Structure 1
Amino acid sequence: MGTEKGARDGDSHPLFHLAHPGERRSGRAHPVGAAPHRACANIVHGARSLFRWDGDIQAEAEVLMFAKTTAAGAAAARDLILRLHPYEVPCLTVLPIRPEGSNPAFLDWVAQETASPA
């Protein structure tokens, strides 16, 4: 796994955080989990979200997903999530994965797994 130029830049590996309704899904059954522009995802069951919607406080069971991709795949990942997500306004935030302190081999693997086939 060689490092491509810029593969470990701070903005080259975004971490997507999203919340999904509380039904249990496996990574394979989730369309975002199977997306080619996503190297891997962590799915956390049992989250409870509190939020204001239409002026009322809501509480919902949700599943959290933390998906890793590259800057090149970020727009496609975002578009897929927004197109398939059942919520009208889904929680979707993106954070940079900082190379300092990160595992270089993992960042190389993310870049390799999300690269377009030649």
Structure 2
Amino acid sequence: MDASQVLVVITTLPDEDSAAALTRALLEARVAACVNRLPACESQYWWQGAVETARELPLLIKTTRARYDALEAVIRQHHPYDVPEIVALPVAAGLPAYLDWVREQTAGPDGGA
């Protein structure tokens, strides 16, 4: 496992206030270099045996594999859902300068761990 690999983590929030609060918490904790708050979308999913429909705001969060566990902890702490969507996708390629910037912005005092 390459701890410096850049990840895009996806989560969804039920409203603007919770999306803004989580975005701020992720950035202040330095577990994310960038968070894109996308426009609301309609989500349909199974929950407790029934199909539900909800308006949600997706977040695209850029981090590294080394910071993933800390990022997940911040999401779980600040997310209003019992079982929040947290999906991490590895970045297979990207502009090297951008990927380096993500790594720099999420590096902790001990080098990112």
- The answer to which of 32-41 and 47-56 deviates more is 32-41
Please name the residue that 1:13 is paired with: 6
The DSSP-based 3-state class of the residue aligned with 1:94 is strand
**Where does residue 40 of structure 1 map in the other structure?**
34
What secondary structure sits across from 1:57 in the alignment? Answer: strand
Counterpart of 1:76?
Answer: 70
Alignment of 1:1-118 (within 5 A): 7=4, 12-24=5-17, 25-26=19-20, 30-99=24-93, 102-117=94-109
| Identity level (%) | 30
Q: Contact 1:22 / 1:63 at 8 angstroms: preserved in 2?
A: yes
Long gaps (5+) in structure 2: none
Structure 1 counterpart SS, 2:39:
strand
> How many residues were matched structurally?
108
Structure 1 residue 32: deviation in Å? 2.6
Letter in 2 for 1:48: E
Larger radius of gyration: 1
What is the root-mean-square deviation of aligned Cα atoms in Å? 2.3
In structure 2, relative to structure 1, the CA distance for the partners of 1:91 and 1:29 (3 Å cut) is: closer
